[in-house]
Structure 1
């Protein structure tokens, strides 16, 4: 429906880097650069200013990127409408999944007593450079629902939410670390010993749940907090290699074979809600799916 090289241009504009854009699109950096360069040569335009620090759209390029987003969005909507018209039954509910958002609890509920009138398709999502905010902002385009941990109040004006359980923050600990054998951790367990500081990776301050954990951990002697910007599989690999601890969530149990999720006895509630995020104005089949999951989980849903 459209020149697929537009995907490369949009990704480069949004990430500010050909390397980051290639990771987002799951292609090699040389392949992405070639797509951008050949597109510019084909149409005799310059979309980006290049520098050692990355790429930035030119003034005209920024306007072009906005138009390109519109073309991609309209093309996807046309295809989606065609699929809905061509399908003899109800369109499927597209549930986004990834290594960090596997939707196990949602799928376990669904398999317990699925509604045969609703078809569920699993759609792969990236865990690398695409912020979850971007995915949620586009719910209903390629993905209808995402199962994750969230603060309901954060998404009130963005999408619908169905919390089905409480998700307390825990600690991902390398298997060869002494704390990995503890059934639970107290904050005092995290304090450094014998002059060795305990390094814990945690999100930068952003007004979220991790800030509560940070406030509590900053009071401990011998603890070094290492700021992170987001979660991806590389972060879990790094912690397994370096021995750093990592603020984690129960839904990430088993994400990395060398890390163990250990519950923490926080002196005050430090957690989020786990459940579904879906479009603010869901299609009938999505609304039915959310209502069914809510009923199976024993919670009220109002999609």
Structure 2
């Protein structure tokens, strides 16, 4: 974007190249277009800027003066525009997006891209919180302090009252196993298929749907071996990577554990997936949530297909 007429830049380029044709090449336009721009510029200014000959063009004394001042005009114009844009950027509120291998930002990354393209007056930062977000447990002290939004499933029992939640969609349950596991080749599994194996499942009292699944497992497999996971992190995932454990997960988290095969589990239970944020959200958080609400279908399309 330029704050000066395009003909001035074309004039500068012709003066420096000494030829309409060479200037056209650097401007990626045709030679006749350059000739026309210069003719119109001379007519508009009421002066002759070039001496034309078969060997090219040469600045007239008038052209030389305009060339020297024109370069200053362009430089000052670019500096003024850069300062104005920086002031505009500095005036935007900043949102900090939390992300890690466990709390991976998926929809939020797409949201940031779309919001920038639409000119939403917000800046986004991604602080380094890999250590703090290495486990899926109570990370609420970070909200509103070190980050404003996290993307995760919502634990409706354990997290009740400790944060607010914006639901994007429901995500079905699945199981994750290593590539050598006997179930790895199946397109789906039932609860009874899990009978011979140790099942890694969140401890009771975390999410009502997982508690309901636990009840179904114990009803269909009375002597089921369940490994209760107090938190979900890379160490929990590693159990299934090196042992024939069954890890209860969701399809959307398969990028969290690429060394495991994620298989749909035939069960009616789903978990809410979306954004968690402070009980006292800032205005920028509310503004972004309103934007997401308006563009929700487009933002979640690739994740629910």
TM-score range, shorter chain: 0.5 to 0.7
Aligned residue number for residue 214 of structure 2: 214
What TM-score results when the alignment is normalised by the length of structure 2? 0.60
Deviations 1:66-88 (A, max 9, x none): xxxxxxxxxxxxxxxxxxxxx83
User: Does the 8 Å CA contact 2:102/2:134 hold for their aligned counterparts?
Assistant: no
Counterpart Cα distance in 1 of 2:142 and 2:289: 18
| Structure 1 position 220, deviation (Å) | 3.2
- Following the alignment from structure 2 to structure 1, what is the Cα–Cα distance between the partners of residues 294 and 156? 19
TM-score by length of 1: 0.61
Gaps of 5+ in 2: 1-88, 299-305
How many Å separate the matches in 2 of 1:297 and 1:203?
A: 29
CA distance in 2, matches of 1:207, 1:261: 22
Offset of residue 133 of structure 1: 5.3
Secondary structure of residue in 1 paired with 2:139: helix
Partner of 1:82: none
Q: 1:287 maps to which residue?
A: 286
- CA shift, 1:205, in A, is 1.4
Structure with the greater alpha carbon radius of gyration? 2
Q: CA deviation at 1:110?
A: 3.8
Alpha-carbon separation, structure 1, partners of 2:102 and 2:135: 12
1:149 Cα deviation from its structure 2 partner: 0.4
Cα RMSD between the aligned structures? 2.7
Deviation, structure 1 residue 207: 5.2
Aligned to 1:94: 96
C-alpha displacement at 1:238, in angstroms? 2.0
Is 1:178 matched with 2:179?
no
For 1:205 and 1:140, locate their aligned partners in 2 and report how far apart those are by CA, in whole Å. Answer: 28
C-alpha distance in 2, partners of 1:90/1:235?
Answer: 40
**CA–CA distance in structure 2, aligned partners of residues 131 and 235 of structure 1:** 9
Cα deviations across residues 79-121 of structure 1 (Å, max 9, x unaligned)? xxxxxxxx83223110100101111123224434544322121
Residue 233 (structure 2) aligns with: 232
Q: Determine the C-alpha separation between the residues in 1 that align with 2:159 and 2:206.
A: 14
Name structure 1 gaps, 5 residues minimum: 1-86, 192-196
| Structure 2 Cα separation of the partners of residues 131 and 241 of structure 1 | 19
Match of 1:125 in 2: 129
Query: 2:158–2:205: 8 Å Cα contact kept in structure 1?
Result: no
